[in-house]
Each structure stands twice: as C-alpha cells, then as structure tokens.
Structure 1
Amino acid sequence: MSQLSLSWLGLGPVAASPWLLLLLVGASWLLARVLAWTYTFYDNCRRLQCFPQPPKLSWFWGHMGLVNPTEEGMRVLSQLVATYPQGFKSWMGPITPILSLCHPDIIRSVINASAATAPKDKFFYSFLKPWLGDGLLLSAGDKWSRHRRMLTPAFHFNILKPYMKIFNESVNIMHVWPQLGPLDIPLCDCLLPVGTPRFTMQAGFQAKWQRLASEGSARLDMFEHISLMTLDSLQKCVFSFDSHCQEKPSEYIAAILELSALVSKRHHETLLHLDFLYYLSPNGRRFRRACRLVHDFTDAVIRERRRTLPSQGVDDFLRAKAKSKTLDFIDVLLLSKDEDGKELSDEDIRAEADTFMFEGHDTTASGLSWVLYHLAKHPEYQERCRQEVQELLKGREPKEIEWDDLAVLPFLTMCVKESLRLHPPVPVISRRVTQDVVVPDGRVIPKGVICLISVFGTHHNPAVWPDPEVYNPFRFDPENIKERSPLAFIPFSAGPRNCIGQAFAMAEMKVVLALTLLHFRVLPDHTEPRRKPELVMRAEGGLWLRVEPLS
C-alpha cells in the first residue's frame, strides 16, 4: 500500500487509504469555509463601522431585547430614531449585524433596488411559508417578477370598481345586521394562558354597533369587529363566496384568524423557530390543521372554476361575469397568461389567493381601527369628516359610497393618511441585500447584511416630520406635500416590491370610515391603547372605543 507523508503535521508516514484522503479533503473544505466566513465577518464589521450603534445590552445577546414589541419598545424606538435620524446598526446575538434605516435619503437605495438586489429576508417571513406558499409576499427572483406582471391587472380600477358594492354591503352588515343569537366560535385561544376561558365570538355580534348603542353608547373592540368585516369583504372579492361570517360561524374565517395569531406567537418562542420542534408542539399541530383547512377551501374553489371554465368557454364565462358586474380575484388569476402564453398553476393561484386573504384583512383592519381612534381623540376632525360625507351623500338613496366619490373626500383622505403615518399597519420591512449597496452619502451596505426599513421609524423621525407624535391631518394638504420626499410616507412600502393592493385597501378604508362616521359618533375609551407591533400594528388587549348612533 502506498505511503502518505504527513511530516508537515508532525506525523510519520501513514497508509494513504481513500477514507483518509476523503477526511483530509472534507477537513480542508470545512477549514476553507470557516476562514472565508471569518474573513467576510470581520470585513463586514470594518465596513459597518461608519454606521452608528446604540450601546449593547450584552456582549453575547447584543441588542436583542432593546426594542420589544410593546408600548415601551415603541417609545425606545422613537428615542433611537431621534438620536440616530439616518438609521443605526444593531446586533442580533454576537455575529449577526442588522441595519435599521429610518430616513428617506438612506432607505431610497434599498427600497428602490431591484427585487434581485434587495429580496425579502427569509428569516422574518419563513413562518408564513407553509400557509402562503410562493405568493407575491414570499416569492423572489424570476418567479416573483412573472407573478407581479400577471397579477397587476387584478388591481386595475376597472376590476376594483364593482368591489365598492361589496364594501358598502359588508360595513352595513357590521352596523345594522339583526341579532341572531349566540353561537360560539373558538378562536385564538393559543394566545391565552393555560386555564383562561377560550375566546369566543357570537354570531351576529356585529349587531352591537346598532343594538347595544340604541340606549346610549356601546364600548367595542375595533380590531375584533373590523377584522371580521374585512375578511367578509375579502372572501366575496377573492372567491365570490359569502360565508355570512359576520352573522354565523365560519370555519374558514376562524382558521385564518388562528393562523395569524399562531404565526405572531411563534416569533416570540425562540426554541420553536426550529420546524421539527414546532410541529411537535400543540400549536404546531394546530397550525398544520388550520393550514389544511384553508388550503382545502381554496383548492375546492379553484377546481370548481377550472371545471366551469372549459364547459362555458372563456368568452361565455366573461359575458356571464359581465352581467354580474364582478370579476373576482380567482377569475383574474385563472385567465392570466404571461408573455409566453403560460397560465398560473393551481398551486400558484392558491398561494396568491391565500396571500391576498392574509395581507388584506389584518392590515386594513389595523389602519381602520387606528384612524377611528384618532378621530375619537380629535372630535373636531371627526366632525369635519362627517360633514364632508353628509354633503357628498345629500339627497342620495341608498347612502352608499361609489368609486367616483373616493376622489371627492379630501379631508377624510388626509385623516386616513395621517393615521397611517402615526400607526403604519406594517411597522417594518425586512430586506437582505445580495450585493453591496451604496447610500447617497457614500457609505456602503455590505452584501449579505439584513436591512430593516423602519416604516414606523421613518414616520416618527423628527428630522423628517416636525412634531412627529402629533396627529395633524393637514400634513397631507396638497400644498404641504410638495416639498416632502415621497419616501417620507411609506405605509404601503415603495419601489418595485410595493404593496400591489394599496388601491384596494385605501378604497375599502374610505368606504368603511365614511359610512361609519355617517351613522355613528366615535368616542375615546377611558383606557389609552398600548401599541403592540406583531405582524401588524395592534393594541394590547384590543383597541376599545365607544360608539353612539347619530339620529
């Protein structure tokens, strides 16, 4: 057997077996990877020295725990933004640097970069993957680009116009639907301590807006009520399916609410970040079960439409839809084709429909809940909005908001935007740059670094917004917008990966707000809400307000 000299390691000649050679090659490869990683780490540390950082809480944990998802954490973040108005560096543990960007001049380089240069960071979104698949929120590269082009027509104003009737109907159900009696829907008890009674909803509980307020005012949790209303609207717009979820229990709606709650909870359980541990836990099993229910519902709708389409033919299908005046989201996806004439697969359609249901309900509910809170705190602005709506609908029956009305509610729109500034539904956007990115002042963000585009921080930055904590709708007066960077206000993100459904969301928010103020006066509760950023900006224990009907 041939001999291999290892004298350079201080060893004598040894037999050169294939296993020994394989071991040496493997060890050499591992050593090379460790050295390469070490070089990259120290090189990034050197290049990131130009970005300021607050004092670490610990040499090992870094800045973990500095900004918690609580009201106190939001105040800490506001102080950090005031101290570091361009942005700052923080460490997640001893080896992972994160750049938080909170100024329009700095975020421009990242947010306007191509989807390939600054894709979404998988760490912050991976928990949604089993539910949402490769929809627009989670996909990347060529697949994202292809789907974005194919989905854009689904949000053209000609498609959105017929949805106005759905928005009007859903909010009216929330306001005045007759009480049907209690029927419990178990939801979200995953968020409650052991031994706490399961959280339930009552069928027809939305009737409390009119019924409970009939003898004065009613105290309501805006998030609870509006989330169900937005899900009702979305199910009709996406699937043309009316589950009557505001009137009676719906397993599908309950599953979506449960999935959102479980994903939020998992973010705070470090050990359960590992998939194999999570799916052995009770919450992991519930997550799988809810995913299966949601996917089965979407798949059944897609199969039925696929079956109907060939028998009718595309032209007959479109003529039938034209009579009903509504082309829903599934219809648009089924009829979409790319430049090569290829259609979306059933799996792709399911991912996009599930993504729209997820992204469309919580964000809109958050935006609406907080704008009602601000108008309750500022009755003078509330009354001006109400007068604007009353003047618009004077002499009109039924009292419904139409598409063209959206452009003639300027003050109400200003109030919505100012609330979205103070309480952006999505407080932070995560990106991981795949190549060096140069910011306008010459500093370089190294390849591989996670960038957190702090929407909340940008909106609360005193270098961008004077008196940032003050609710002042006149910031969005057309005259005041001219001198401001378009990236100073980014509730729907910006750049190539901005929110494709922002026109849908703004239309729904305006309709719901206008009709709510037309029929109710909104008053502040005795307890001040405490902000709680999760997947969206929530309030601890709900956002409670009082409503009283107008004569």
Structure 2
Amino acid sequence: MEPSWLETRWARPIYLAFVFCLALVLLQAIKLYLRRQRLLQDLCCYPAPPTHWLYGHQKFLQEDEMEKLEELVEKYPCAFPRWVGPFQAFLYIYDPDYAKTLLSRTDSKSQFPNQFLSPCTGKGLLNLDGPKWFQHRHLLTPGFHLNILKPYTEVMVQSVNTMLDKWEKMLITQHTNVEAFEHINLMTLDILLKCAFSQKTNCQINSTNDPYVKAVLELNKIIFYRMNSFLEHHDIIFNFSPEGHHFQELHQVLHHYTEKIVQDRKKSLQDDRTQNTQKRTYQDFLDIVLSVQAENADSFSDNDIWSEVNTFILAGHGTTAGGISWLLYCLALNPEHQQRCREEIRGILRDGSSITWNHLGEMSYTTMCIKEALRLSPPIPSISRELNKPLTFPDGRSLPAGMNVVLSIWGLHHNPAIWENPKVFDPLRFSPENSDQRHPYAFLPFSAGPRDCIGQQFAMIQVKVAMALILLHFEVTPDPNRPPILSSQSVLKSKNGIHLCLKKIP
C-alpha cells in the first residue's frame, strides 16, 4: 500500500507550515475582532454618522471633507467617532471645554502624521514626548523671547522685498495672475534659513540650484504624497518604492548640509568666541541651540541640535506660508477689509517700506484680520493625542487610555455653537471687547496648554511684515476661474494652489 502524500518527506514540512500560517491568520483575526469590539464599547456613548463595514468613514469624508466636517460639527455636539477602516477609530472633538480638558494634559502625540516627518526632522519638539520633550522645551523657550525675535524683523523685510521684486518683474501689464502659495512658501523658507543659519540663500530666485532648498521642497511633496497613499503608510512598502529611495537620498542631503553648518559654526566659535556674533546684528537659531548644548553637554547632543534645527525649518516654513496665503485670499475676497488694512499700514509707515518692531504693535485692525483668517483657515487643521491615562470630559463622558483623540481646529473654528455665521469673514470678532467674552479655548490656531506652538510669536511677526509690505505695493483680487480646492492633511493646503490677481499700486 502506497503512503499518503502527508507521509512523504517533502510534504510534511509544507503541511506544518500551512497549519502554522493558518493559526497565525486566525489569531490575528481574533485580535482584530476583539479590537473592534473594544472600540465599539469605548465609543458607544458618542453618536456617529453611518459607517461602511470596511471603509468606515473614509469614502464619506473623502470628497469635500471640510464642508462635510462642518455638517457633522453642527449635527453632533462636542464630538463624534471617525472610523478609518473596520479596526481603527479616532474621537474627533471641537468643543472648547473638550479642547481645554485634552490640552491641559501631557498625553503623547499620535504617531500619525508625525511618523512621516520624523525621518526628516529627527526627534525634535514636534515629535518628542515625556521628560525629553519637557527638557528641550525648557531649554529652547528663551530662544523665542521677544528680545531675540526683534532683530529678525529686518531679515524678514529683506526676504519679503525679494518676493515683491519678483512680482513686479512679472507684471507684463498693470495686472498679473500668480499662484501665491508657491512664491510665499519660498519666501518663508528664505526667512527661516537666514534666521536658523544666517545663510545668504538665493532660493527665491533659483530654488533648483541650492541642494538643501531643493531637498526641503521635494521632501515636503513626498511626505504629502505618502499621507495620501494608504499602502505607503507601511514603512516596508514605502522604503522599496521609488519615492522611498528618493526620500532616503534627500534625507542624506539634509543631514550632511546641517551637519556641515553645525561643525563649521562650532569651529568658528572655538577659533574666536566673539568673531561669529560680531558679524551679525542678531543671534540665529543655531547660535541659540549651540549655547544650550554648551550649558547642557551631557543631555543635549549633536543629534539633538540637528533635530531641532531641521524641525524649526521643515515644520515652520510651510505652516507660515499657508497662513499668509490664506490671509491674502481672504482679503482678496473682502476688498473693504483689505483697503482698511492698507490705510492702517499707510498711516503707520507713512507710505514707506521700512518696518520696525514698534510698528508691528500698532497694526490693530490688521492683526484682527490675521486672526480672523487663522480662524477661517487654520494652517494646522487638527492635532491629535494618544491618551496616556483615562480621560473624562466635562459632560461626564469618558475615554480609556490608549484611545486616539483628534482636536479638529477646523471644526472648533467653524462651530456654529461658538461663532455666529462662522463662514463669514468678520475681523471684529477679535476686537478686545468680543475677545474678552469668548471661551479661551475657542480660538486655537497655535494650539494651547503645555504643548502650544513655541514659534507662534515668530510666525505672527512674519505674517505682519509680509502683509504690510504686500498691501503697500499691491492690490489683490481672487482669480474667479481658479478658486482654491481645500485639501486637509497635516497642513491646510489647496489642491490647485491659491491663485490671485495682482494690481500694482502707483
């Protein structure tokens, strides 16, 4: 009698491997099922819009996400669960009391989307947690003191004027159309490179010749692409893709560039302790982090320097560029407010282009317009936390440790329970009397609590300087044929850019 195929020498290992793999699959299926049941139980007291059994809310919110989010904010008070597939859920919150409860704690940041940025920036303030984050925050906070920021105004004026010179050369007639974000993004990168490294860049004129500038711009595009590609969220798939290979090459450019500048600056300081700072009228960010390392050599390494400098540049320029671009678009849509800002700026600067630190504090109406634009179009539309311990909201509803909570800043800023006619551009919402009556956690463009944005004053200075100089030289109107199409990722962008018509003011 012939033996069965299972008894043959070659078949038994295959059979055992098959059984082992099947057991692993079943075990994983059981774990996923239990995870889903646990999430359903944890979120049962939060009503949610209908979900697809496989896609969750992905298809429902895929198109016109911001408009649909506004509908959900109005329909579901305070919060709603958002499912991403059948086994992953986040609780979206957009109520000031909920925001205060969450941001008053020191929970860890959620991995998404910081996991995509970390390979570029390293472990800096943006993605550190726990004692290491607290240490870095404490050491770097003096670097954003107003006395450090004041001299940056002159640097910003130079960079904004470079952009305005480009715009004037583009004027074939009295009018011209521009995609504003591209130009403003290069301008804010120019500012940050000068304020971080004191580097005289030519990135606004020829961004393709500077390896570091080119790497920064291309890395931002790859990160944005990866966020939109679900399969490439997995490191193995991404690392073997063409984008992954290019990402590694660009990362090396970033690392070597920053490393060379850091080592050159250290050598210069060792040769002559006073030589480096005497050549400049201001301390750049590298000066600050090197002085931090000198005082804390055991706990602040060269890798920490690299991480914080690149975090400052990569996380800073795109968000500020978005804030300026959306503000210009809001003023283009509302010419009466644009003209009032222009008149205020003319009254302060007397038609000159020289801006000093003291001028910035006098721009009261312009500041109200800036804040209203940040409300309507927050550069960071959401932030997320992974709960370290259980959380209970003011209405008694709770969440367990391990849950991911997303504070929708967009939803908070468009919540009709807080803001009357939230889609209307109304700068008077931010008059002193109106601001005093509002919940302190109703307006959070820079977050709040212990992990608020360390660079918010630096960003506001850039916005004021850019707005003052742009409005002195140009009148802006929207391009009716190319309205922006909102795209919400880690930074609020337009899929087709922000197109404006420029008219030179005589």
Q: TM-score, normalised by structure 1?
A: 0.83
> Quick one: distance in 1 between partners of 2:279 and 2:170?
39
Match of 2:424 in 1: 470
Task: Say if 2:495 is the partner of 1:503.
Answer: no
What is the CA-CA distance between 1:487 and the residue it aligns to? 1.0
For residue 123 of structure 1, give the secondary structure of its aligned residue in structure 2. helix
Match of 1:546 in 2: 501
> Quick one: distance in 1 between partners of 2:44 and 2:304?
43
> Quick one: distance in 1 between partners of 2:31 and 2:122?
33
Task: Say if 2:145 is the partner of 1:156.
Answer: yes
2:173 pairs with 195, 200, 215, which one?
A: 215
Q: Deviations over 1:271-314 (max 9, x none)?
A: 2122122121111111111111111111111111121222223x
Structure 1 contact 333–349 (Cα < 8 Å) conserved: yes
> Quick one: distance in 1 between partners of 2:310 and 2:97?
34
For residue 94 of structure 1, give the secondary structure of its aligned residue in structure 2. coil
Match of 1:61 in 2: 55
Instruction: Name whichever of 238-247 and 33-42 sits farther off.
Output: 33-42
What is the CA-CA distance between 1:74 and the residue it aligns to? 1.2
Task: Say if 2:456 is the partner of 1:488.
Answer: no
Two-structure CA RMSD over aligned residues (Å)? 2.3
Q: What residue identity is the alignment partner of 1:139? A: L
Match of 1:373 in 2: 329
Match of 1:301 in 2: 261
2:117 pairs with 128, 132, 153, which one?
A: 128
Query: Counterparts of 1:349-498 in structure 2 under 5 Å?
Result: 349-394=305-350, 399-498=353-452
Task: Say if 2:291 is the partner of 1:335.
Answer: yes
What is the CA-CA distance between 1:123 and the residue it aligns to? 3.1
Match of 1:204 in 2: none
Match of 1:193 in 2: none
Q: What residue identity is the alignment partner of 1:300? A: K
> Quick one: distance in 2 between partners of 1:343 and 1:434?
25
What is the CA-CA distance between 1:338 and the residue it aligns to? 9.3
Match of 1:186 in 2: none
> Quick one: distance in 1 between partners of 2:326 and 2:29?
49
Match of 1:100 in 2: 92
For residue 70 of structure 2, give the secondary structure of its aligned residue in structure 1. helix
Structure 1 contact 335–343 (Cα < 8 Å) conserved: no
> Quick one: distance in 2 between partners of 1:228 and 1:37?
45
Match of 2:41 in 1: 46
Match of 2:301 in 1: 345
Q: What residue identity is the alignment partner of 2:467? A: L
Q: Deviations over 1:71-93 (max 9, x none)?
A: x1111111111111311012222
> Quick one: distance in 2 between partners of 1:264 and 1:530?
16
Structure 1 contact 214–549 (Cα < 8 Å) conserved: no
Structure 2 contact 324–467 (Cα < 8 Å) conserved: yes
Q: What residue identity is the alignment partner of 2:221? A: A
Query: Counterparts of 1:95-244 in structure 2 under 5 Å?
Result: 95-114=87-106, 118-176=107-165, 207=166, 209-213=167-171, 215-244=173-202
Q: Deviations over 1:417-445 (max 9, x none)?
A: 10010100011111110110111111111
Q: What residue identity is the alignment partner of 1:360? A: G
Query: Counterparts of 1:240-251 in structure 2 under 5 Å?
Result: 240-248=198-206, 249-251=209-211
What is the CA-CA distance between 1:247 and the residue it aligns to? 2.2
Closer, same or farther: CA 73–31 of 1 in aligned 2, 3 Å: closer
Q: How many residues align?
A: 481
For residue 430 of structure 1, give the secondary structure of its aligned residue in structure 2. strand
Structure 1 contact 44–446 (Cα < 8 Å) conserved: no
Match of 2:223 in 1: 263
Task: Say if 2:67 is the partner of 1:75.
Answer: yes
Closer, same or farther: CA 402–343 of 1 in aligned 2, 3 Å: farther
> Quick one: distance in 2 between partners of 1:59 and 1:128?
31
Structure 2 contact 341–365 (Cα < 8 Å) conserved: yes
For residue 130 of structure 1, give the secondary structure of its aligned residue in structure 2. helix
Structure 2 contact 113–490 (Cα < 8 Å) conserved: no
> Quick one: distance in 2 between partners of 1:123 and 1:517?
38
Q: What residue identity is the alignment partner of 1:258? A: E
1:275 pairs with 231, 235, 239, which one?
A: 235
Q: What residue identity is the alignment partner of 1:149? A: H
2:487 pairs with 517, 532, 537, which one?
A: 532
Unpaired segments of 5 or more residues in structure 1? Answer: 1-29, 177-206
Q: Deviations over 1:323-343 (max 9, x none)?
A: 622100011000015986646
For residue 109 of structure 2, give the secondary structure of its aligned residue in structure 1. coil
> Quick one: distance in 2 between partners of 1:61 and 1:380?
45
Q: Deviations over 1:86-133 (max 9, x none)?
A: 11012222222210001111121111112xxx2111132111121111
Unpaired segments of 5 or more residues in structure 2? Answer: 1-24
What is the CA-CA distance between 1:366 and the residue it aligns to? 0.5
> Quick one: distance in 1 between partners of 2:418 and 2:59?
27
Structure 1 contact 61–92 (Cα < 8 Å) conserved: yes
> Quick one: distance in 2 between partners of 1:37 and 1:480?
49
Match of 1:182 in 2: none
What is the CA-CA distance between 1:520 and the residue it aligns to? 0.7
For residue 43 of structure 2, give the secondary structure of its aligned residue in structure 1. helix
What is the CA-CA distance between 1:539 and the residue it aligns to? 1.1
Q: What residue identity is the alignment partner of 2:164? A: H
> Quick one: distance in 1 between partners of 2:130 and 2:295?
17
For residue 66 of structure 1, give the secondary structure of its aligned residue in structure 2. helix
Closer, same or farther: CA 513–140 of 1 in aligned 2, 3 Å: same
Match of 1:8 in 2: none
Structure 1 contact 214–548 (Cα < 8 Å) conserved: no
Closer, same or farther: CA 343–325 of 1 in aligned 2, 3 Å: farther
What is the CA-CA distance between 1:153 and the residue it aligns to? 1.0
For residue 336 of structure 1, give the secondary structure of its aligned residue in structure 2. helix
What is the CA-CA distance between 1:137 and the residue it aligns to? 0.7
